Amino acid sequence: MARTTKGAERSVSRLCSVGRPGDGEAPSLPPVPEALRRWTEESGAAGADPGPAGVTVAVVGLGYVGLPTALGLWEAGATVLGIDTSEQRLCDIRAGAVDLLPAQHAALVCAESSGAFSLTSDAGALGRADAVVVCVPTPVTERQEPDTRTLRAACASLVDRAVPGQLIVLTSTSHVGTTRELLIDPLAARGLVAEENVLVAFAPERIDPGNERHVPGNTPRVVGGAGPLSSRAAARLLRPTASRVHLVDGPETAEMAKLWENVFRAVNIALANELSDACLHFGLSPLTVLEAAATKPYGFMPFHPGPGAGGHCIPCDPYYLLGGLRSGPVAAPVVDAAMAALRERPAEVVRRAAGLLRDGGTGPAGARVLVLGVAYKEGVSDVRESPALRILELLAAQGAEVFYSDPHVPSLAVDGRVLQSVPDPSTLPCDLAVLHTAHPGWDLSWLAAVDLVLDTRFGRGSLSPAAAR
């Protein structure tokens, strides 16, 4: 039975079913081994799909993907074991000091007092779970190479503790073949064969932090199982946490679909940045031109220019495609070029900032520069891969005295030193203000009185196009 939370009630959609038109075909099922029957039996007598109700689910990794995933499963009726190796992260979750939407914060409070939601750093809890959902990060190294150490460690720990009858779902973005390499094959080597003793699937995460329009329950989910039993089981587990489930023919297809999604975004963001520079060259407002182009009702999707790409997806995921292609005959020059352009974008922002300062009669050396918003996107405190970090570093390297203000980020490490957020940026005298992230509800009207403002977002949602310099 699905749970609801006081002040944050939501209806759990159970309308999408395996084999719904356009959502992938329902797999024809072979005879079901006894150990797997709990996941593959038909709906109950009342016709309602119980989903994860009454099931114990371990969620491995409680970051920006894992924690909302755990809450969604709890709301759908599961008993949740949240597992994370970081005791600090577990303390932050217990204290509510985490990036969540208001409704998710309310759900967290209710979940923690329910007796059906527990947190631990003990991987031994994996053996007590009916299902395990892996949500660990997959970053890149400083050389832009896939860093799968955390993922490999999590999967190895899971393989060692897996038990017959378990459903294992990997959600972390990675290269094509990851699910087979890190789960299906090692489990088989232990005598736990997918579709016979265990069920294994890949269902890539689709979490948009800070965006109430794109909560998991409003978002379709792709599922690719090791076989038809695994696909059906993973769909049953995840269906109440998504708007619908789209089945594909295997984990590799689902892995590639996730890479395609984020490579598409990366290439188009890089293109939007390039076209915005062309607009500036012609003396045009990029935002005004983009709004005009976006009136076309077909064959066009607006991507907005900005200071670069931050967070855990766009700056990282395409390298998991490129890394998988390095040793083969297929190249991806467009993707390579787009990622190089995104890496260079913060330096372009700094070049524009230096130009504005020189035009104003000074230069970057000795100038007081205030960067507004350092989180990688609006409404969150996450600074991973944020272009603001590189912008501050490059400005300081040119001799500028740098400051920042962000209501979500109280302190920030930049090039070996810690900066503190300016509580009231309107009171700080500066030679140049650089608008990087405009958080919802953040009053920036005072910027109209600042002589030099560089809006890296070209007026989107904060300043008029005319004010974006």
Dihedral angle sign, alpha carbons of residues 165, 247, 250, 205: negative
Active site positions, annotated: 313
- What pTM, to 2 d.p., does this model score? 0.89
pLDDT interval class at 328 (50, 70, 90): confident
Residues 277 and 138 in one domain: no
Across-strand partners of 439?
none
Domain ranges, residue 363: 265-467
Percent of the chain exceeding pLDDT 90 equals 83
Residue 10 covered by a domain:
no
Residues 458 and 423 in one domain: yes
Residue 365 covered by a domain:
yes
Do the Cβ atoms of 56 and 129 come closer than 8 Å?
Answer: yes
Give the tens place of pLDDT for each residue, 359-417.
Answer: 999 999 999 999 999 999 999 999 999 999 999 999 999 999 999 999 999 999 998 89
Residue 23 covered by a domain:
no
Of the candidates 209, 205, 98, the one whose C-alpha atom is nearest the C-alpha of residue 440 is 209
| pLDDT average, residue stretch 273-300 | 97
E strand segments, 333-393: 368-372
Question: Which strand ranges, in their side-by-side order, compose the sheet holding 368-372?
Answer: 401-405, 368-372, 432-435, 453-455
Looking at 192, 225, 249, which one is the last position of a domain? 249
Do the Cβ atoms of 404 and 425 come closer than 8 Å?
Answer: no
Residue 396 or 8, more confident:
396
Looking at 198, 215, 249, which one is the last position of a domain? 249
- Tokens encoding 57: 């689910």
Q: What is the pLDDT of residue 50?
A: 67
- Tokens encoding 40: 């593959």
Helix axes 317-325, 251-281, angle to 10 degrees: 110
Please classify residue 453 by burial: count the beta carbons closer than 10 Å to its beta carbon, then call 0-12 exposed, 13-18 middle and 19+ buried.
buried
Residues 455 and 308 in one domain: yes
Distance CA 456, CA 435 (A): 6
Q: What is the pLDDT of residue 17?
A: 33
Residues 212 and 75 in one domain: yes
418, pLDDT greater than 90? yes
Residue 139 covered by a domain:
yes
Q: What is the DSSP letter of 459?
A: T
462, pLDDT greater than 90? no
| pLDDT average, residue stretch 257-273 | 98
* CATH number where 349 lies: 3.40.50.720
464, pLDDT greater than 70? no
Residues 285 and 392 in one domain: yes
Residues 168 and 272 in one domain: no
Tell me the longest C-alpha to C-alpha distance in the chain: 79
Do the Cβ atoms of 79 and 111 come closer than 8 Å?
Answer: no
The structural domain count of the chain equals: 2
Q: What is the pLDDT of residue 48?
A: 57
Q: What does pLDDT average to over the chain?
A: 90
Calculate ∠ Cα 142-147-152, nearest 5°.
Answer: 160
Residues 214 and 320 in one domain: no
